[in-house]
Structure 1
Amino acid sequence: MDKFNALKTFITVCEKGSFAASAAVLGTDASTVSKAISRLEKQLAYTLFYRSTRKLTITDAGKEYLETVRALLIDLDECEQRLKSGNESATGVLKVNLPVAYGRLYIVPILSKFAEQYPDISLQLSFSDEYVDIIERGLDLSIRTGTVSDSRMVLHKLSPMDFLTCVTRAYLETHGPIDSFQDFDNHRWIRFRFKQTGKLMPILAEVDGETEKLDPKNYLVVDDGQALVDLCRSDVGVMQGPHFLFKDGLSSGDLVSLFPPIEPEGYGVYLLYPKRDFLPSKVVVFTEFLKAELEKMGEGSNFCWSSEVAYLNEWE
C-alpha cells in the first residue's frame, strides 16, 4: 500500500508541478510529499525530478516512469471496473473538456437534462480551444472540432463541420451585395485567430469545384467564437466559421447565409476518449446521451442541419 500511495503522489506531483500544490490536493504538507518522492527515487536509484528554489522539472527517467505508472493505474482501474460491471450503474465523477464556443452553445444547454437522468454522475467541465492531452490531464473524454489525429484515442464523429459565410441584411444594405468570392476584398471581415498557434482561420471559397483558401485584406480579429458571432450580428462585417456558431442567428433570422456550406476534408466534431479494454458506464451513457440530443438538433455523424439552410448565392 505504501508503494501504491507513492505512485499516486508521484503522478500528482507531475500534474501539479510542485510539492506544495500536490500537498494541497493530497491533504498533507509539502515536506511529506517531498520525502515520499525522495524515498521513491532511492528505491529506483533514479532522479525523477530536478529541484531548484524556483522550479521542479521532471527528468527523462521521470517521464518514462510516469508513462508506465499511468498505464499500470489505468489497468488497475479497468480491472476494478470489470469486477463491478455485473451490477455497475452510471456513477462517479465524469471529467470532460470542451471547445469554448461549442461547449457553451451545444453542451451547456442540455446538461440539466443529463443531470436529471443521471443524478449519480458528477460532471467536471473544462473549456479550452487548445489541444488538451486528456491522458496527461486525467480526463475521461473530450470534444474537439476541426481535425483530430491521435492513435491513443477512440474517436466518434459527432457531426460534419460545415463552414458557412454569414452576414446581416443590414450590413448588405449598407455596404452592397456579395455575389461571389471576387467581392470578398470589397468588404470588412471578422476573422478568428487561434490562440494556440496565433494563426488566422482562412476564408474558404469554392473556386472551379475546388476549395480555395483566401485572405481578404480588410478585417478585424478576435480569438473568441462567441465574440465573432456577436460582432457579425451587430452589422460590423462578414464572417465565416463552423456551423454551430450560426445556429441561433440563422434560426432567428438575424443572420443570412451567403453561399452553400463548405465541408473541408477531414474536418468534423469529434468525441474522444482513451483506448481501454473496459469503458466505464459514465462514459458510455454520456456518449449515447450526447448523440441522441445532437440528432434532435439535426446533427449526426454523416449529416448536419446546415446542408438544408437557405442561402442567397451560388458560388461563382
Structure 2
Amino acid sequence: MDKLRSLTLFLATCDEQSFAAAARVCNTDPSTISKAVSRLEAELGVTLFQRSTRQLKITSAGRHYAQTVRSSIQALSSCEEELRQHNDAPKGRLRVNSAVCYGHLYLRPLLKTFCQRYPQITLELSLDDMHVDIIEQDIDVALRTGYVKDSRLVARCLSPMDFVVCASPAYLEQYGTPANYAEFTEHAWIGFKIKETQQLQPIFLPDEQGEYQLSELNRTHITDDGEAMAQLCADGLGFAQLPHFLAKAGLESGALVSLYPAFRAPMPEGGVFAIYPKREYLPARVRVFLDFLVAALEAQQETPTHTWAQHWPSRVQFS
C-alpha cells in the first residue's frame, strides 16, 4: 500500500474515531485500516491511537501528525486541481518555433487573431531554419518542412509541399517562355542552398509528357534565404522553383507568374508539419493552437492532402 493511501486511511480514522467506521467511509475493511495505521506507527516510532476493546483514542502525537497530514493532502489536492485546470484551460506560455520563411509568410499573419481569441495565452515565437531539439529547448510546437524522425515527437501534417516554377513577367517579356524541356537550360536560374546541409535544393522540371524529372541546371544566382529567392525571381533575375508558401504572395500580386502546373516532389516525407512532444495529456494551449492553425490553413485551401497551388493557373497546361 502506498504512503498516500495509508495517510488517507489514517485521516479517516481520525475523523470517524473507529476502524470500522473509517472502513465504511473508505470502502474497505477494518483490518486494512488497522494495518495501515500500524504501519505508520512503526515507521514513525510513535503511537498514533490508544486502542481498547471499547474505544479508539487519538494521542497528542497523532493529533499533531493529523494536522500536518491534512494540511499536506489539502495542498496536494489544490495543486492537482490547479494543474488540471491549467491543462484544461487555454492559458499560460506557448512556445512556438517555425522555419523562418513559413513563420514570416504563413504563421505571423495569423497570430493576431489567435492572441485575441486566447488572451490568457502568452506567445513566445522563435524563427530558425536549423535543427532545433524542441524537447531540450522546451518548445511546445515547431513548424517544419519535411518529416522529423524522432520517436519522442508527434508530426502532424498541415499540408503537402507543392512546388511552382516561377518567373517575373518582365523576365518572360525579355527572354521569352521556354517552349520545351531543353530550352530551360538556356535561362538563368536562382538556386536555393539548404543551410543545414549546404547542399543545393534539387530542381524538377516537366518533360514533354508533363512528368517532372530531376534536372541539372546551372544556378546563375544562389541564396540560402527563401524570401530572398522569391524576391530575386520577382526582380527578374531568373527562374525559381518555389514551394507554394514562398510563391503565394508573388503570384497573388502579379509579381510572379507560374509557368507550369504545381507539382509535388517525389519524396514521401515532403510536407509542412506541426511537431510537438509526445505526452499523455496535451495541454489546452497546444491543442487550441493546433486546431486554430489547421482551421486557418483550411480557409486558405490547404489541408494535409492538397494546397491552393494545385488550382493556380499557369502559362502552360499539359494535355
Matches within 5 A, 1:35-114: 83-85=83-85, 88-114=88-114
Q: Deviations over 1:39-73 (max 9, x none)?
A: xxxxxxxxxxxxxxxxxxxxxxxxxxxxxxxxxxx
**2:281 and 2:241 mapped to 1: Cα distance?**
41
Name the % identity.
Answer: 42
Name 2:252's counterpart in structure 1: 251
Question: Which whole-Å CA distance do the structure 1 matches of 2:114 and 2:86 have between them?
Answer: 23
State how far apart, in whole Å, the 2-side matches of 1:142 and 1:234 are. Answer: 32
- Measure the CA separation in 1 of the matches of 2:195 and 2:125: 20
- In structure 2, what is the Cα distance between the partners aligned to 1:198 and 1:311? 31
CA separation of 1:169/1:100 partners in 2, compared to 1, >3 Å: closer, same or farther?
same
Partner of 1:283: 286
Matched residue type, 2:160: P
Are residues 125 and 115 of structure 1, via their aligned partners in 2, closer, same or farther at CA, if it must alter by over 3 Å? same
| Contact in 1 for aligned 2:153/2:278 (Cα 8 Å) | yes
SS of structure 1 residue aligned to 2:230: helix
Residue 136 of structure 2 aligns to a residue whose secondary structure is: helix
Q: State the shift of 1:132 in Å.
A: 1.4
Per the TM alignment, residue 186 of structure 1 is displaced from its structure 2 partner at its CA by 0.5
Structure 2 residue 296 is matched with structure 1 residue 311: no
Q: Which amino acid aligns with 1:244?
A: F
Deviation at 1:218, TM superposition (A): 4.2
Does structure 1 conserve the Cα–Cα contact (< 8 Å) formed by 2:147 and 2:155? no
Quote the RMSD (CA, aligned, Å): 2.1
Letter in 1 for 2:277: P
Q: Tell me how far apart the structure 2 counterparts of residues 178 and 184 of structure 1 sit (CA, whole Å).
A: 6
Matches within 5 A, 1:127-166: 127-166=127-166
CA distance in 1, matches of 2:252, 2:91: 37
Cα drift, residue 150 of structure 1: 2.2
CA distance in 2, matches of 1:238, 1:225: 14
CA distance in 1, matches of 2:156, 2:82: 23
**1:237 equivalent in structure 2:** 238
Residues 87 and 283, structure 2, Cα contact 8 Å, conserved in 1: no
Query: Could you tell me how far 1:149 is from its partner in structure 2?
Result: 2.2
- 1:213-272 alpha-carbon deviations (Å, 9 max, x no partner): 212114210111111111111111110021000111111122111111111232111001
User: What letter corresponds to residue 128 of structure 2 in structure 1?
Assistant: S
- Tell me the equivalent position of 1:72: none
1:213 paired with 2:211, answer no
SS of alignment partner, residue 88 of structure 2: coil
Cα pair 2:88 2:283 within 8 Å, conserved: no
Runs (5+) with no aligned partner, structure 2: 1-78
Q: 1:97·1:125 contact (CA, 8 Å) conserved in 2?
A: yes
Q: Distance in 2 between matches of 1:197 and 1:165?
A: 23
How far apart are the structure 1 equivalents of 2:150 and 2:212? 26
Cα–Cα, structure 1 residues 93 and 204, in superposed 2: closer, same or farther, change >3 Å?
Answer: same
Partner of 2:76: none
- Mark the CA change 1:236 to 1:127 in structure 2 (over 3 Å): closer, same or farther: same
Report the secondary structure of 1:163's partner residue: strand
Q: Indicate the residue corresponding to 1:194 in structure 2.
A: 194
Q: Name 1:48's counterpart in structure 2.
A: none
Deviation at 1:82, TM superposition (A): 9.2
| 1:119 alignment partner AA | P
- How far apart, CA to CA, are the structure 2 residues paired with 1:86 and 1:235? 52
Q: Distance in 2 between matches of 1:252 and 1:245?
A: 13
Counterpart Cα distance in 1 of 2:170 and 2:161: 27
Asked if structure 2 preserves the Cα contact closer than 8 Å seen for 1:94 and 1:282, the reply is yes
> Do 1:180 and 1:313's aligned partners in 2 also have CA atoms closer than 8 Å?
no
Question: What is the identity, as a one-letter code, of the residue corresponding to 2:125?
Answer: L
Q: What displacement does 1:175 show?
A: 1.3
Question: For residues 280 and 87 of structure 1, what CA distance do their matches in structure 2 show?
Answer: 5
Q: Is the 8 A contact 1:92 1:120 kept in 2?
A: yes
Partner secondary structure for residue 130 of structure 1: coil
How far apart, in 2, do the equivalents of 1:107 and 1:81 lie? 33
AA aligned to 1:228 is M
Equivalent pairs counted in the alignment come to 238
Q: The residue matched to 1:104 in structure 2 has which SS?
A: helix
Hey, what's the Cα distance between the residues in 1 that align with 2:264 and 2:144?
Answer: 16
Cα-to-partner distance string for 1:159-184 (whole Å, 9 max, x where unaligned) = 11001100012101111222333222
